[in-house]
Structure 1
């Protein structure tokens, strides 16, 4: 797993790290139970503060992607994929609710909304 961060990006470094590790987990590049680099090792390899990596790891742990065992290090959590998919579904539901509210206020029909969603969804295929 290679992590690349940029000071020029609009997102904070810790978010860049957390996102890349989440992506590696979700894609199957990192498997459940597999160790991830120590905070010190990753900070050293990226030439950034240990505190920045610690914040990224804390975020990943809070989100259920990694588990930390004192004295042994950090490992990919076993339940991460289901948890992540549930979180993503909640985000989609929130955005759908907003879109439905706008559609209703604008008089856009359900069929038109479905048609628009279908076009947008299939656009990247």
Structure 2
């Protein structure tokens, strides 16, 4: 599993981990029922605290992306991929709503907002 941690990001490390795992699940890189690294192994692999990985896994489990079975490990939850995609689309819509509100409060036109989106979309 290829997880990249940014020390310069304002996003907490546990959220970076959770976000990247969610994205891998949605894109099908991690398959339903697939065994994930143990919390200890993930922490060792990333060179971070076990507590941080535990927090990421707890968030993922709470949101239904993963399931932990005592004594067996942590697995990608068996879910409908379309439902997962819809959940992520909702998040994107909420973030776009925030951006539109901020843009309107600054008096930006739709064209200006679209130009900014095109630039940002090309950078990521």
TM-score normalised over the length of structure 1: 0.71
Provide the aligned C-alpha RMSD in A: 3.0
Q: 2:14 maps to what in 1?
A: 14
> What CA distance in whole angstroms lies between the structure 2 residues aligned with 1:47 and 1:121?
34
Which secondary structure does the structure 2 equivalent of 1:34 belong to? coil
* Aligned residue pair count: 116
> What CA distance in whole angstroms lies between the structure 2 residues aligned with 1:61 and 1:10?
23
Bigger Cα Rg: 1
> What CA distance in whole angstroms lies between the structure 1 residues aligned with 2:45 and 2:4?
10
> Structure 1: which 5+ residue stretches go unaligned?
104-112
After superposition, what is the alpha-carbon deviation per residue over 1:14-41, rounded to whole angstroms, capped at 9, x for unaligned?
A: 0111111111111111100000100000
Contact 1:66 1:76 survives alignment (8 Å): yes
> What CA distance in whole angstroms lies between the structure 2 residues aligned with 1:119 and 1:6?
27
> Structure 2: which 5+ residue stretches go unaligned?
105-109
